[in-house]
Amino acid sequence: MVPSILPLPALGFAALALAGKLLGGGRWDDLQVVLRGLPNNVTTEMDLELWRLAQVIKNDGGSRAAVTDRKPAELAEDFRAGQLPAVLQSGLARFMGQYGHRAVAEIDVGMPRWSDDPTHILGVLANYLRLEDSALAPDVQFSNAAEEADACVDRLVAEARSRGLRGTVVRAALRRARLFAGLRELPKYQLVVGLAEVRKQLALAGAALAAAGVVADADDIFFLDLAEARAGLSSGSADFRDLVAQRRADYAVELERRHIPRVLLSDGTEPEAIPSGDAVTASKVPGALSGSPASAGVVTAAARVILDPVGAQLEPGEILVAPSTDPGWTPLFLTAGGLVMEMGGPNSHGAVVAREYGIPAVVGVPDATLRLFTGQEITVDGGAGTVVPS
């Protein structure tokens, strides 16, 4: 399925590049607007479906009280036991039936899926219920973004018409860009469907290992390699409990790392840590941080530093400051006022989604989660690539 899907988003972005060239080049600010509110984006559809579930919960007294008054971890236990209020239980079950295979860091088979542990999703629902301004509702924002994109397409086509047939070609190119660009999320979505099934099968093997006393818990299989797991299943007398305990301890230590370079040059230099040209601009403002412009716009609001989205509380309008993001983080984007990431470039997942949602974003900001703190008022300029603490 993945090879059959990939050419379509590639065609969409190629069409976008063609339109930019026909318009004379240097039109990235306009082309960013064209990508807002894209249709056919499975991740956006997932986030909006979760928002709609929040509205159903909001209109049911018992469900709303449960989500707002209790901790997400407690609700997750009741969900697994089928003991949540009926509206919440059935609505969450439907969402998990469609999207429960997803997770934060979902390409790691060892990470629990949302259907295994819905704590993160229940926390996001609690955040959504805090949004009281209907004008800031994610579905309204998404609709406004799509209308803004359509208006931008009309404006660019009208501009191109002055050059003869270019107007027709630009319109066709921009329409195809909007039609196909959102499909870029679909290949990974399909891969994760497969990985979720892999996890289920490994969990069955883990249960067999635990029953035989080879490991202490079924989840311990994720700390064995396949050869060890096969040996444990075939012999039944192996004992990997001490080995797993050591690997779990090593894993816990590694999780304490605040930053892991994605790329290192042969001399040990990390390219993303090299100051960009924007650093010169930022340095003129005392205390300013610089990064890569990712999504145009300026916003001033309180920062919320989040290292792990599971159980995180992001108040509507706050600026999300994170090490990095993947699709598992995107439900938080719907109510965020802006985005700052330590890692990634203009084409990283967080940057692309921020542009589609129309929230200002700066990425590749070294040590952002260390230099900024929750509650601090900051100004994010997604066009200049700067973050200025107040």
- Enzyme catalytic residues: 349
The per-residue DSSP string of 117-182 comes to -THHHHHHHHHHTT---GGG-HHHHHHHHHHHHHHHHHHHHHHHHTTTTHHHHHHHHHHHHHHHGG
Parallel, antiparallel, or unpaired: how do β-strands 298-305 and 319-322 relate?
parallel
Q: In sequence order, which residues have a C-beta less than 8 Å from that of residue 131 and are 6 or more positions away?
A: 137, 316, 335
Parallel, antiparallel, or unpaired: how do β-strands 298-305 and 338-341 relate?
unpaired
* Measured distance CA(168)–CA(223) in Å, rounded: 57
Half-sphere exposure of 377 (CA within 13 A, CB side): 3
Q: At what angle do helices 166-180 and 7-22 cross, to 10 degrees?
A: 150
* Measured distance CA(277)–CA(292) in Å, rounded: 9
Parallel, antiparallel, or unpaired: how do β-strands 361-363 and 292-295 relate?
antiparallel
* Measured distance CA(180)–CA(338) in Å, rounded: 26
Q: How far is CA 113 from CA 103, 215, 233, 310, in A?
A: 5, 22, 25, 12
Contact 127, 309 (CB under 8 A): no
Q: How far is CA 28 from CA 24, 165, 313, in A?
A: 11, 22, 33
Burial of residue 102, with CB atoms counted within 10 A of its CB: 0-12 exposed, 13-18 middle, 19 or more buried: buried
Q: Which residue has tokens 């009280």? A: 65
3-state helix vs strand vs coil in the chain, percent to 5 = 55, 10, 35
